[in-house]
């Protein structure tokens, strides 16, 4: 007898040593969707009590409104994060257990969603991702980026049970966040090249389904650059769909490989050494110009797309000194030495400076 798998568990894509893929069961991206959030929660067969996770800003932007709607059908209380750390996620996990929480609503940007994602994973309860900005593709990915004792860690977690994105809220956020999200997706171009390089050099397994989806999403962003440059609901909608689709490629891969390569490693180094780093997507975007150049690819197309959407394309625009960025390139491989990229064979400071000069990042 043939057993049909639900859309959540597409096991036929996978190697025998990999578990089935987890994907969100419900994705709602439209205007005024929060007004009908209870219908979405019921469609997911969620019952019992829930905790709404937010921070001091997002509770006011959207959290309080969601509380008013959700309490008509569910027992709900709010819990505010103080920092995006592993310890904070563990603390929340303990609170869920004490309160017999059935599911979590994560309302905010990357910090909030990552804490809710990992804490709900530890508690083995579902969480609903409700982004307030379209700043990066962690919205529906299966990994959480949290600070440990000394550095940030990318932790295996689980994908959201559902994604509910209100375009009215997303489009009202500062435009810089949406631009950063778009830049993060464009970086998929170089992340995929790193993965393919590793496949050829080290024999690392590669998912061609994931590669195709990741590349397609990045292409959509590049071709939609003129639309995204406008501060409209259409721009927010386009980027939000792209972020979710990019997250799906990671779900299929079972890792961040299709959306995170050497460009992300460079950004992670910058986050560790800078007191006030630029937005994640801004740093990754600039780094991808360099890594595309090192791959011998069309870095001019990447730079033009970033420039069109309004993303920074020089170090001066994100306030980073040349020496700091060069050191980030040279030391990037130390972030994840197990992940083979274009930088894994080593790059000298002289070569890094030459790449920055050739690609115009020093202008």
Question: In the chain, where are the structural domains located?
Answer: 11-172, 175-358
Mean per-residue pLDDT, 121-138: 93
Non-local (6+) Cβ contacts of 153 within 8 A are 86, 145, 146, 147
Beta strand pairing status for 49-54 and 75-80?
Answer: parallel
So what's the pLDDT on residue 15?
38
Q: 308: left (phi > 0), else alpha (psi -120 to 50), else beta?
A: alpha
pTM here is: 0.89
- CATH architecture of the domain with range 175-358: Up-down Bundle (1.20)
SS3 232: coil
- Residue 163, strand partner residues: 27, 129
Residue in 76, 110, 64, 112 with CA at minimum distance from that of residue 92? 112
pLDDT at residue 8, as a whole number: 39
Residue 2 has pLDDT above 60, yes or no: no
Short-list 168, 257, 244, CA closest to 206:
257
* Max Cα distance, the chain (Å): 65
Query: What confidence tier does 142 reach under pLDDT thresholds 50, 70, 90?
Result: confident
Q: What is the pLDDT of residue 7?
A: 37
pLDDT in tens, 269-316: 999 899 899 999 999 999 999 999 999 999 999 999 999 999 999 999
* Residue 155 confidence class, pLDDT cut points 50, 70, 90: confident
Does position 13 have pLDDT exceeding 50, yes or no? no
Long-range contacts at 62-66 (CB < 8 A, ≥ 24 apart): 62/34, 62/107, 62/130, 62/132, 62/166, 62/169, 63/107, 63/108, 65/34, 66/34, 66/37, 66/105, 66/107, 66/130
Report pLDDT digits (tens) over 209-249: 999 999 999 999 999 999 999 979 999 999 999 999 999 99
Res 151: pLDDT: 64
Dihedral-angle region of residue 25 (phi above 0 means left; psi in -120 to 50 means alpha; beta otherwise): alpha
**pLDDT tens, residue by residue, 64-92:** 999 999 999 999 999 999 998 999 999 99
Q: Closest Cα to residue 258, out of 300, 312, 216, 316?
A: 216
Quick one: which of 113, 114, 79 has its CA closest to 94? 79
Q: CB of 158 within 8 A of CB of 121?
A: yes
Chain-centroid distance of CA 171 in Å reads: 18
* 3-state SS assignment for residue 344: coil
- The three-state secondary structure class of 222 is helix
The half-sphere exposure of 29 on its side-chain side, counting CA atoms within 13 A, is: 23
Q: What is the CATH number of domain 11-172?
A: 3.40.50.1970
Q: What is the pLDDT of residue 1?
A: 33
For residue 358, pLDDT over 70 is answered with: yes
311-341 tens-digit pLDDT: 999 999 999 999 999 999 999 999 999 999 9
Please answer whether residues 161 and 25 qualify as being in contact, where contact means their C-beta atoms are separated by less than 8 angstroms. Answer: yes
Position of tokens 């809220």?
169
Residue that is written with structure tokens 């990037």 in the block: 332
């Amino acid at each position: 007898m043939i057993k049909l798998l639900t859309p959540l568990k597409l096991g036929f894509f996978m190697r025998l040593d990999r578990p089935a893929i987890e994907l969100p069961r419900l994705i709602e991206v439209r205007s005024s969707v929060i007004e009908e959030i209870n219908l979405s929660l019921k469609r997911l067969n969620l019952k019992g009590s829930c905790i709404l996770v937010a921070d001091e800003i997002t509770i006011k932007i959207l959290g309080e409104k969601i509380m008013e709607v959700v309490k008509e059908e569910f027992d709900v209380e709010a819990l505010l994060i103080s920092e995006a750390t592993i310890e904070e996620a563990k603390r929340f996990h303990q609170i869920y257990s004490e309160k017999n929480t059935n599911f979590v609503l994560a309302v905010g940007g990357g910090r909030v969603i990552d804490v809710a994602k990992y804490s709900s994973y530890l508690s083995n309860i579902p969480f609903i991702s409700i982004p307030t900005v379209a700043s990066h593709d962690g919205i529906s990915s299966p990994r959480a980026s949290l600070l440990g004792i000394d550095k940030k860690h990318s932790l295996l977690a689980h994908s959201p049970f559902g994604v509910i994105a209100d375009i009215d809220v997303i489009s009202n956020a500062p435009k810089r966040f949406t631009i950063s999200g778009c830049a993060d997706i464009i970086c998929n171009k170089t992340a995929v090249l790193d993965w393919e390089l590793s496949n050829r050099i080290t024999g690392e397994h590669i998912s061609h389904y994931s590669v195709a989806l990741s590349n397609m999403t990045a292409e959509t962003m590049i071709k939609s650059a003129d639309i995204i440059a406008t501060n409209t609901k259409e721009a927010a909608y386009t980027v939000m769909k792209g972020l979710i689709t990019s997250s799906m490629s990671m779900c299929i891969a079972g890792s961040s490989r299709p959306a995170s390569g050497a460009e992300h490693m460079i950004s992670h180094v910058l986050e560790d050494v800078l007191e006030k780093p630029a937005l994640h997507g801004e740093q990754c975007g600039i780094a991808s110009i360099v890594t595309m150049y090192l791959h011998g690819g069309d870095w001019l197309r990447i730079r033009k797309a970033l420039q069109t959407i309004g993303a920074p394309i020089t170090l001066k625009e994100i306030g980073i000194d040349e020496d700091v960025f060069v050191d980030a390139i040279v030391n990037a491989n130390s972030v994840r030495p197990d992940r083979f990229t274009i930088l894994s064979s080593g790059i000298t400071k002289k070569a890094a400076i030459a790449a920055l000069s050739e690609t115009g990042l020093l202008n």
